[in-house]
Amino acid sequence: MIAPGAPMPPEALQGIVPALITPLDADGHVDEESVASLVDFQVAAGVDGLLILGSTGEGPLLSVEDKLRLVRSTVTAARGRLPVMVGIAHSSPPESVAFGNLAHQAGANALVTTPPFYFLSSQPELIGYYHYLRPRLELPLITYDVPSAVKTKIAASTVRALAEEGLIIGIKDSSGDLAGFRDMLIATQHLPHFHALTGSEHYVDAAMLVGGHGGVLGLASVIPHVYVDICAAVRAGDWARANQLQQRAIAALQMIYVNSSGGSLTAGAIGSFKLALSDMGVIRHATVSSPLLALNDEDRARVRAIVARVVTSPTWAGAA
């Protein structure tokens, strides 16, 4: 158990942490009833923590009012059963700090930030960014490496420097670079309280094989049980089962590529995850934030076919 607003201990950052979608009502505002249902769905699956307002959570697209409504409703629904980690990434360091402190007041247990976006930062500038944030925030910081969204790749040497100074307790690595992930693990292996989790849905098993501590995954919003089982299989040394489960996750991930309506990959991913959860009765609406385009009828049919074959089927045994 962890009290609302209490700092998350570094050792709690491991296992499977779903990067949750943000349930929205038909008008595009946070649906608190669906938030509660989604949190219970995750707890029942046995996940190890919750990340909200990340990329899958549409954090950059929501108003501050809706962000705080989401933090409060997630904390209330979690009831101390899981730590709640909140994305605070912003192009302005003071704005990251301001929202981080508001999230703390709303009950967050840890904060997650990317490098500042818009301008391309150098590695010394990144270190300066965390030097700015850390003394102005009371909660522990986790860095989020997602160069596809923010332009800047966090170098392994930078991660090591940040961890050695105690500026961060861990990392979500969504670079998609398994070799780079391993380099970073080697660079930080002398720091027992620093934990590195992959953000790639494709290779949680491989990331843990090379020393990673788990995964922070958007697709875990939809199939948390599969990723929890992957993690358990890895810890048991059952690599054959871990591989089979990982293949199932990859098959489920194909739902993000169905967008034929002119929308972005982001719209396809978030839209398909929300449609799947809506059809499963976990959330009430599949609304996405503006300007993301909703899935059309053809895409919805394709998502539902994947969900029926891979996600909800009790007999999935491999690719068709």
Q: Give me the active site residues, please.
A: 144, 172
- In sequence order, what are the residues at sequence separation of 6 or more whose Cβ sits closer than 8 angstroms to the Cβ of residue 171? 142, 143, 144, 145, 154, 159, 184, 195, 196, 197
Sheet with strand 110-113: strands edge to edge: 15-18, 214-217, 195-198, 170-173, 141-145, 110-113, 84-87, 50-52
- Amino acid at position 311, single letter: V
DSSP letters spanning 268-309: HHHHHHHHHHHHTTSSS-----TTSPPP-HHHHHHHHHHIII
Taking 3-state DSSP, the helix, strand and coil percentages for the chain, each rounded to the nearest 5, stand at 50, 10, 40
Distance CA 221, CA 280 (A): 12
Length of the chain: 320
- Asked if 199 and 220 touch (Cβ cutoff 8 Å), the reply is no
Structure tokens at 233: 């299989």
- Asked if 84 and 75 touch (Cβ cutoff 8 Å), the reply is yes
Q: What's the start-to-end Cα distance of the chain, in Å?
A: 42
- Asked if 288 and 294 touch (Cβ cutoff 8 Å), the reply is yes
* Cα 132 → chain centroid: 24
